[in-house]
Structure formats: C-alpha cells, structure tokens
Structure 1
Amino acid sequence: MRKVLVFTDIHLVPEGETIIGLDPYARFARGLAHALDSHPDAARIVLCGDLTHNAAPAEFARLRHALDTCPLPVSLMLGNHDRRAPFLAAFSEAPRMESGHVQHHADIGDYRLVCLDTLDEDAPDLHSGYLCAARLDWLDRAIRGAGAKRVVVFTHHPPIMTGFGGMDRIGLRNRDQLAARLAASGKVVQIVSGHVHRSIQGAAGGIPVSILKSPCHQMPMAFGDQDPSLSIDEPGAYGLLLLGDEGVVVHSEDFSLPPTQAAIYPDAVTGFPG
C-alpha cells in the first residue's frame, strides 16, 4: 500500500498568538514530527486548506519555515481563512491554474490525487466555498487525464451536509454540482475534506467522503444551528490514507494524546487475543 499523510485546518497565527489557548504552530510541528516518525515511507503530504488563520504574510512565512526540512513532497491547498495573493507570494513555486486558482494533481502508483481550490474570496458570508466553471472544467480534465488510475479528490469545503448547521451554512455552495461531476466520471473512489474540524464519514454521489480533524482546535459535538466559530480543546489529529489494490483506507491519528503502552488481552472465552 502507498501512504499519504493529510493535515487540514492548521490555522497558523503570528508568533506569540494562540487560538483558545492553543499554539497552532506548536501543534502542527508536533503532528508533523509524529507523522514523519511514524510513517517515513509515506509518498506525499497533503495540506487540505486553512493553512493560516488570518491569511497574513507572516503566517504563511511561518508555514514555509515549518516545512523547510520536510523530506516529503507537499501538496498545498487553500481554505476559507487563506487568500491567494499572500499565499502565492510565500509559495511562488506552487502549481496553479492560469486563472490563479491553486489546483493541481499528483500521481502515486495506480492513483491520482486531485487537489481542488474551493476558496471563494468574494463569498457573501466570507467563509463558504464555491467551485466556478473554470475550476470544474479543470477537474474534468484532470480526471480524464488519469487514464486507468483511480482518483482521490481533496477539497477544503466538504461536498456533504454534516448536521452542524453553522458549518453547513458556510459549506460548499455548489456541492451537488461537484458530487454529480465526480459520480459521472466513474473514476473517483474517495473524497477527503476538512473545514469542519471533526472526524466525519459520509458519501457524495455514492462516493465515500472522509472529513478530518484539525491538528489544533476542534468543533464541539454541537448539532443544530450553532455558531461555526465554536471551538474546543480536544486531541489534535492528522489523516493517513492507505492506497491499495482493493481501494482506499482512511485513518485518523490523534497524535496529541499521551503516549500509552500497547498490551495484548486474552479473549474471555477462548483465551486467545481477539
């Protein structure tokens, strides 16, 4: 199996600042070190948007510093807290469309990873996402160009409703359009998203969707029409995708939990582990 590491909703802030008392830079650095130590054989890292909290140049510079010694190739994506101009000023080498949208793909064995740009800098609510016709047409070409490869699509804004009313209000406004295109292609086997700061499973157009937690702060289990800025100090996490012959397996690793010692316990009936 090929491995892909996924971090989403990093929310870097200027040095000395915190979010609900947590240091996003320290959390991300700890998570990245844990992921690289645990999975040095990973093929790539995907950063699935909300790289920064305020899209300030200093925040993107901190991300650049955090990635300076990373030994793996990194796919950078944008979320609603980011902005393209300061991102591209800090990461001028990042692949992008002619329109300036930050979309790209990478092939790993029998899979193609397609990273989309759902950022809408003109969103009426500031934080919802949208995929314009140009981005969707590029997506179609990227999927067709995959040939016989299976496709995994990454978005910041998830293409499903989650039950968190506040987050769904600032979700992907044309989620149904995206889901229809992905389903019609017949090649997309997995969608991976962020934005909600919780581990959530669902499906869009019959395609499995995995939403991953942040390495920093999480959304509390507050269903209904709640404020989308609600945050709670729960374990930070990153995602691990296993790309195999039988399909995609998605894991979530809570790296900020205290270390524990694994033990084998016998089954009460047979006496064997089970």
Structure 2
Amino acid sequence: MLIAQLSDSHVTLPEEDFAKLYDPVTKLREAARHVNNSVNRPDLVFLTGDLVNTARAEEYEILREILPEFEMPVYLLPGNHDDCTLLRKMFPDHDYLQKDGKLYYVVEGWPLKFICLDTNIHGKPQGHLGQEQLDWLEEELSRESDRPVVIFMHHPPFKTGLTSMDAMGLLDMAEFAEVISRHDHIERVLCGHLHRAIQRLVGGTIVQTCPSTSHQVRLLLGENNELSTTFEPPEYLLHYWTEKDGLVTHNDYVQDFEVAWTLEGELY
C-alpha cells in the first residue's frame, strides 16, 4: 500500500502578507492534483499538522474547500499553529476526531495500524503529549503486538541541530522514546513541524520528518539561533509498504518532471 504524508500547509487568507510571500493555498491545491495523478497514487493521505497558519475559522474554511480535491481518504493532525477546539468544530464530518480533549486516534481497516497523536499546546510553539496520551499509546501498542504500526505526530521526538526549531520541540520526547522502545512492531514514527526531511533512530525506531508543501526551513545547523525560510520546492513523503519488505519512505516533489528515457523488459 501507499501512504502520502503532507505537512505544514499553513493555509491562510489571500490578502495576508504570508499568503503573498508563500502562496500556500495554491501549493496545497497543486499537491492534491499531483497526488491524485501520480503514477504512485496513494491509498490515503495524512496531513501532519500546521494545517493553517493562524488558527482562524476563515482559514479552516479554505482548508475545507481544498480537502475534497484529494480523491482518497484524508486524515488531519493538529500542529502548533492549529486550534484543536476550532479544528474539531470546523470538521465535524471527520468523526475520528474526539469530541473533547486531545485529538489522538487510531485509523483501522488497513494492513498497517495507524496511530495519530496530538502534540498541540494551545498558544505555544512547543509540543507535549502528556501522561494520559502516553498511557493510551502504550495501551494501543500493546493491544496487537504482532501487527505493524505507524505513528503520526506533528513535533518530532528528537533534537535536529536546527537550534531555532529545536527550541520549539517536543517537551516530553524522552518519555515518548521510553514508550516506543518497549515495542518492536513499530514500522516508523512520522512527523512534521521541521519543514525538512530529517531522520533519526529513537527508541529503536526510525523517526522521519516531512517537508512542507508551503516553504522549507533553511538548513542552518549548530549554534545558530537564526530562523529563516527558503523557496525550495514543495515536497511530501510517500511511504510504500509491503508485507514482505515493510515500510520504505521516498521524497516526492510537487512537480511534474519529463521522463528522459525508459527501458522495458528484462534488464539483467
């Protein structure tokens, strides 16, 4: 099966300076078109947070208009730019979103079990899971120890070397790592927030962050507190899973490239 992960769309109103700089709405619509028409058309899509830019109802209304353009199921996760109360209010048809409290949930009906977590702290850039959610995660991971699991969340549970972004990281990353270290059937932990593709081993599992469909964070490693963005191409992650080989992750640009040449038949 194929799973598309898009992240940090930062949808906002067209008159905003942010929209004039990045044009996130056009880019998300183009991402939907690209996903639908891809030779690697996914079975489902996860949007891993920072769905909108300033958590206003008007922004979520724009997002509501865009989501039907995806021709496969779409699941929403909150990021630090989102408002969980407003998110559940604006998307009542997404009935996997809990009616109150944290917006964590499980997606069933596929060979993989998808566990989606909520790292949002209202009004804060940092992330936090909390003991209640960690206990729930432990319970869900223990429920079917022989079934492969993929975990989605917004804030990544590790330091990246991007100092300014690390200051807005997950506060209870050590506690999360302790939970997942007890379970060897986790295929991957997939995150957003960083606006770059970054990988690290955490608690015995590969953790991967997803680039943004809007804009990327400039790669400035080390003791550098500058935060800047670049106009690198919009990207998303495509996760390919087979029962035989497990999960393999690929980057895909939201752009159509001309095929240079093709070989067919027996190659070796």
Q: How many residues are matched? A: 263
* 133-142 vs 49-58, which moves further: 133-142
SS of 1:208's equivalent? strand
- Partner of residue 139, structure 2: 141
1:105-156 per-residue CA deviation (whole Å, 9 max, x = no partner) reads 113543111110001116xxx2010011111122122222345210111110
Is contact 1:13–1:25 with CA below 8 Å preserved after alignment? yes
**In structure 2, C-alpha distance between the alignment counterparts of 1:179 and 1:16, rounded to whole Å:** 42
Q: What amino acid maps onto 1:33 in structure 2?
A: R
TM-score, length-normalised on structure 1? 0.89
**In structure 1, C-alpha distance between the alignment counterparts of 2:188 and 2:218, rounded to whole Å:** 25
**In structure 2, C-alpha distance between the alignment counterparts of 1:137 and 1:55, rounded to whole Å:** 28
Structure 1 residues 41 and 30 mapped into 2: Cα distance closer, same or farther (>3 Å)?
Answer: closer
- Partner of residue 130, structure 1: 128
Moved over 6 A (4+): none
Match of 2:230 among 225, 229, 232: 232
- Partner of residue 174, structure 2: 176
User: How do residues 157-236 of structure 1 correspond to structure 2 at under 5 angstroms?
Assistant: 157-227=155-225, 229-236=227-234
- Partner of residue 241, structure 1: 239
Q: How far is 1:83 from its partner?
A: 0.7
Q: How far is 1:99 from its partner?
A: 4.5
Structure 1 residues 113 and 130 mapped into 2: Cα distance closer, same or farther (>3 Å)?
Answer: same
Between the aligned residues of both structures, percent identity stands at 27
SS of 1:47's equivalent? strand
SS of 1:203's equivalent? strand
CA RMSD of superposed structures (Å): 2.2
**In structure 2, C-alpha distance between the alignment counterparts of 1:108 and 1:204, rounded to whole Å:** 27
Gaps of 5+ in 1: 266-272
Q: How far is 1:97 from its partner?
A: 4.1
1:205-229 per-residue CA deviation (whole Å, 9 max, x = no partner) reads 1201111100110011111344574
Answering whether residue 8 of structure 2 is matched by residue 5 of structure 1, we say no
* 126-135 vs 32-41, which moves further: 32-41
Q: What amino acid maps onto 1:248 in structure 2?
A: L
- Partner of residue 115, structure 1: 116
- Partner of residue 259, structure 2: 261
- Partner of residue 51, structure 2: 51
- Partner of residue 79, structure 2: 79
TM-score, length-normalised on structure 2? 0.90
Q: What amino acid maps onto 1:249 in structure 2?
A: V
- Partner of residue 15, structure 2: 16
- Partner of residue 270, structure 1: none
